[in-house]
Amino acid sequence: MTSYAPGTFCWVDLAATDQDAAKQFYSSIFGWTSNDMPMPDGANYSMMLKGGKTVGAIAPMQPMQKDAGSPPTWNSYIAVENVDNSANKAASLGGTIVMPPMDVPEAGRMAVVQDPAGAYVSLWQAGSHKGAEVVNETGAVAWQELITNDTEKSKDFYSGLLGWNPSDMPMGEMTYTIFNNGEKQAGGMFALDPNWGPIPPNWTVYFAVEDCDATLDTVKALGGKVLMGPNVAPGVGKFATCQDPQGGAFAVLQPEMSAQLQG
């Protein structure tokens, strides 16, 4: 990938309580290497690489987040043409600007917003950093999925903000929504099940793997947990939701050969 169309997920990063331990855990699972980039505050922003190309990053959690007891979180970034305009539009649609637009020197400009149902997402206006250099391959991001307690409100918000076109698909007792960005799929959405307990609305990051069962064995051997699955979605593949040893949630997907992943 050398560029991302507006409305496309373009980057992910993890805010970890123990950056070095997180790097070791995820590198062991996905075969990543790291390239540490010094930040102004003296910490490092670790670019995670697969085959020498960036797939995402791992950074230390901010002290304010640590003090609040926030768990490690994978943050998802969506490409936009103008982050200031998009942040203002998010607010007008009932979202909350959590972090106002700010420059990341030379790399780009970003903001963090919370949708009306409570899920956080970042907006990215690219400078020199366009986003992940590889997606939809083993060890890279393959899908983004919103779980929320208000699907209708979320449809209205993301359609208004990004021009996404939601398409509902009945799946047994549940409905799964595909967000389409033009002719390509941007991500998915389904409703939170109250029986799952106090899970906040969130965007879940899926990483592609060659063998889901073997990956789950590795996750557990390294001190992580399998929260849900593995399950099989016909035409998509085998997947599971996991938790790293520090409490960060992520998902893995062994795609079927015919699966159409996010654009």
The predicted-structure confidence for 45-98, as pLDDT tens digits, reads as follows 999 999 999 999 999 988 777 766 778 999 999 999 999 999 999 999 999 999
At residue 257, the pLDDT reads 66
At residue 261, the pLDDT reads 54
Same domain, 109 and 206: no
Helix segments in 116-183, DSSP class H: 151-162
Share of the chain above pLDDT 70, in %: 96
- Supply the mean pLDDT for the chain: 92
Same domain, 162 and 80: no
Q: Over range 175-186, report the average pLDDT.
A: 95
C-beta of residue 185 within 8 angstroms of C-beta of residue 178: yes
Find the distance separating the first CA and the last CA of the chain, reported in whole Å. Answer: 10
Same domain, 223 and 166: yes
Would residue 145 count as lying in a domain? yes
Q: Over range 34-44, report the average pLDDT.
A: 86
At residue 174, the pLDDT reads 84
Say whether pLDDT at 5 is over 70.
yes
The residue range of the domain holding 221 is 141-255
Which of 57-71, 186-200, 249-263 is predicted most confidently?
186-200
Same domain, 115 and 193: no
Residues 121-134 pLDDT 10s: 999 999 999 999 99
Same domain, 120 and 153: no
Say whether pLDDT at 259 is over 70.
no
Q: Over range 161-171, report the average pLDDT.
A: 93
Would residue 263 count as lying in a domain? no
Would residue 133 count as lying in a domain? no
Say whether pLDDT at 258 is over 60.
no
Same domain, 202 and 94: no
Same domain, 85 and 169: no
Q: Over range 159-163, report the average pLDDT.
A: 97
Look up tokens 């206006």; give the residue.
125
Say whether pLDDT at 110 is over 50.
yes
C-beta of residue 246 within 8 angstroms of C-beta of residue 16: yes
Would residue 187 count as lying in a domain? yes
C-beta of residue 192 within 8 angstroms of C-beta of residue 149: yes
Q: Last residue of a domain, which of 81, 102, 126? A: 126
User: For 11, left (φ over 0), alpha (ψ -120 to 50), or beta?
Assistant: beta
CATH number at residue 55: 3.10.180.10
- Our count of domains for the chain comes to 2
